[in-house]
Chains A and B, each alone.
Chain A
Amino acid sequence: MEIPGGARGTPPPHPLSLRKMEDIVTRIQDEKAGGVAIRTVKSFLSKIPSVVSGADIVQWLMKNLSIEDPAEAIHLGSLIAAHGYIFPINDHVLTLKDDGTLYRFQSPYFWPSNCWEPENTDYAIYLCKRTMQNKARLELADYEAENLARLQRAFARKWEFIFMQAEAQVKIDRKKDKAERKILDSQERAFWDVHRPVPGCVNTTEMDIRKCRREKNPHRVKKSVYGVPDDGQSQPSPVHVSSQPARKPTREDVQKEITFLNTQLDRHCMKVSKVADSLMTYTEQFLEYDPFVSAVDPSIPWITDDTTFWDLEASREPSQQRVKKWGFSLEEALKDPAGRDQFLKFLESEFSSENLRFWLAVQDMKRRPHQEVSSRAQEIWQEFLAEGAPSSINLDSHSYERTSQNLKDPGRYSYEDAQDHIFQLMKSDSYARFLRSNIYQDLLLARKKVSYTHTPRSLICTALTHSSRFTGQSTFLPSPMVMSFG
Chain B
Amino acid sequence: MSQDPLEGCRISAGKKSAVSLGKALHPPNLLVVVEGTCGACVAASPVSAPEGSCSYNVAHHHLCVCVRVCMAWQGLQKGETLASLKQESENLRRKLEEERGKLTDVELHQVAEKVETVAALSIKTRRVLKGHGNKVLSMDWCKDKRRLVSSSQDGKVIVWDAFTLNKEHGITLPCTWVMACAYAPSGCAVACGGLDNKCSVVPLSLDRNENVTAKKKSVAMHTNYVSGCSFTNSDMQLLTSSGDGTCALWDVESGQLLQSFHGHTADVLSLDLAPSETGNTFVSGGCDMKANVWDMRSGQNIQSFDNHQSDINCVKYYPSGDAFASASDDATCRFYDLRADREVAVYQKDSIIFGASSVDFSLSGRLLFAGYNDYTINVWDVLKGTRVSVLFGHENRVSRVRVSPDGTALCSASWDNTLRVSRT
Is B truly associated with A?
yes
Interface-lining segment among B22-30, B33-41, B63-71, B80-88: B80-88
| A278–B321 CA distance with the chains assembled, in angstroms | 12
Residue B45 interfacial (CB < 8 Å): no
Residue B222 interfacial (CB < 8 Å): no
| A486–B395 CA distance with the chains assembled, in angstroms | 37
| A249–B263 CA distance with the chains assembled, in angstroms | 12
Chain B residues closer than 8 Å to A65, beta-carbon distance: 350-351
| A464–B205 CA distance with the chains assembled, in angstroms | 11
Interface-lining segment among B6-14, B47-55, B166-174, B360-368: B360-368
Residue B79 interfacial (CB < 8 Å): no
B93 touches A261 (CB 8 A): yes
B89 touches A261 (CB 8 A): yes
Chain B residues closer than 8 Å to A457, beta-carbon distance: 144, 187
A290 touches B363 (CB 8 A): yes
Cβ-closest chain B residue relative to A62:
B351
B234 touches A254 (CB 8 A): no
Most buried by A among B254, B266, B383: B266
| A291–B405 CA distance with the chains assembled, in angstroms | 11
Contact of B383 (CB < 8 Å), options: A214, A279, A423, A462: A279
Contact of B390 (CB < 8 Å), options: A72, A265, A284, A458: A72
Contact of A283 (CB < 8 Å), options: B104, B106, B277, B364: B364
Residue A452 interfacial (CB < 8 Å): no
Residue A210 interfacial (CB < 8 Å): yes
| A275–B121 CA distance with the chains assembled, in angstroms | 27
A-B contact count (CB 8 A): 307
B118 touches A276 (CB 8 A): no
Interface-lining segment among A101-109, A125-133, A297-305: A297-305
Contact flags (1/0) for B82-100 with A, using CB distance below 8 Å? 1001101100110110011
Cβ-closest chain B residue relative to A265:
B96
| A250–B310 CA distance with the chains assembled, in angstroms | 23
Chain A residues closer than 8 Å to B267, beta-carbon distance: 210
Residue A474 interfacial (CB < 8 Å): no
| A283–B363 CA distance with the chains assembled, in angstroms | 9
Most buried by B among A283, A307, A416, A467: A283
Residue A292 interfacial (CB < 8 Å): yes
Most buried by A among B163, B186, B409: B186
Residue A154 interfacial (CB < 8 Å): no
B344 touches A276 (CB 8 A): yes
| A457–B186 CA distance with the chains assembled, in angstroms | 10
Residue B155 interfacial (CB < 8 Å): no
Residue B246 interfacial (CB < 8 Å): no
Residue B225 interfacial (CB < 8 Å): yes
Interface-lining segment among A31-39, A52-60, A362-370: A362-370
Chain A residues closer than 8 Å to B243, beta-carbon distance: 210
Residue B318 interfacial (CB < 8 Å): yes
Residue B44 interfacial (CB < 8 Å): no
- Contacts A72-B351, A469-B235: A292 and B363 contacting too (C-beta < 8 A)? yes
- Contacts A16-B330, A76-B351, A272-B105: A302 and B289 contacting too (C-beta < 8 A)? no
A290 touches B177 (CB 8 A): no
Contact of A290 (CB < 8 Å), options: B108, B331, B340, B366: B366
| A284–B116 CA distance with the chains assembled, in angstroms | 10
Within 8 A of A (CB), among B371-416: 373-376, 382-383, 390, 392, 395-396, 403, 406-410, 415-416
What are 12 A-to-B residue pairs whose CB atoms are below 8 Å? A9-B289, A17-B374, A67-B350, A270-B340, A272-B344, A279-B383, A283-B364, A291-B408, A300-B408, A416-B280, A420-B278, A460-B186
- Which 10 pairs show the lowest CB-CB distances between chains A and B? A367-B234, A290-B364, A369-B253, A370-B251, A286-B364, A261-B92, A276-B111, A20-B353, A254-B85, A290-B363
Task: A209-B225, A302-B408 given; name 20 further pairs at CB < 8 Å.
Answer: A16-B329, A16-B355, A17-B373, A66-B351, A76-B374, A210-B227, A210-B269, A211-B329, A276-B111, A279-B320, A287-B366, A289-B364, A293-B366, A300-B409, A310-B146, A313-B145, A366-B234, A367-B235, A370-B251, A423-B278
